[in-house]
Structure 1
């Protein structure tokens, strides 16, 4: 059991480090975006912001909430809930970063001249693909079997655009995808 937990945490922190590296380079990318391309800049900032907030939620869960179990006296009934939450946050964060990297690799070409992001940019069909990471290694994805995942007690994540919606919303506030 300890070995399995260690392996999961090791992979989790590898993902966190990789996402932080990607995020570091997005700041440089954003700096050099042309000032006159307002739609691209807005879309980029949205993707970057969602990726950053998803990473912060994941890192917070891994750092703070894990301590309860590491400092505990023995097995906890709540550990399975924690593990499920951590898996969901990991999946959502990976989706955010894969969407961000894919759009940057394509030069944000999914933003049309009217300033709207096409459905191809945030579609769930593309979210299941893999992006090439450092050294040409493909990053695997964890695909949700539902159109929405609960990301924490107060939010659910849209599978189509990965936006973190309030739990009471029946459709995604970003792309209007119905919650299933």
Structure 2
């Protein structure tokens, strides 16, 4: 009888330890999966911002003020890709927010917009472009503030990303007269 009690006690203790280990493994797996998802989303957002910065740095290469149009939620510009001083169909570029998708313009006529993000991974809630006055370095080009607010699918709180881009080919004398700037802080 004592052997039977010891056997049941050992079996209960073993099953309890097995259940605890299984629960711990499941929690660890869930936590690891969440970390990988967050890392992947962070990398996608970083790549998105890098794409914006890289392309905007090339903006206004042709130097015509009418080829640069900045509104708070859209930026249109030209890039001279083949050095022929003519605006070819593939030299129109830009960025805009369309719903929850950040899009880039890839041609002039017809105007073609291509999405840069997958809304299943994250959504772009807001896109903002703002000139910043930088009187200290006017010979190096003007500063443009890019602000992107995103909401990852697995995150409850939105994230705001900000980057400053020095537009070396755009100076105050070339900036469209309809645009204003805020003081750089």
Q: TM-score, normalised by structure 1?
A: 0.30
Q: Which has the higher helix share?
A: 1
Q: Which has the higher strand share?
A: 2
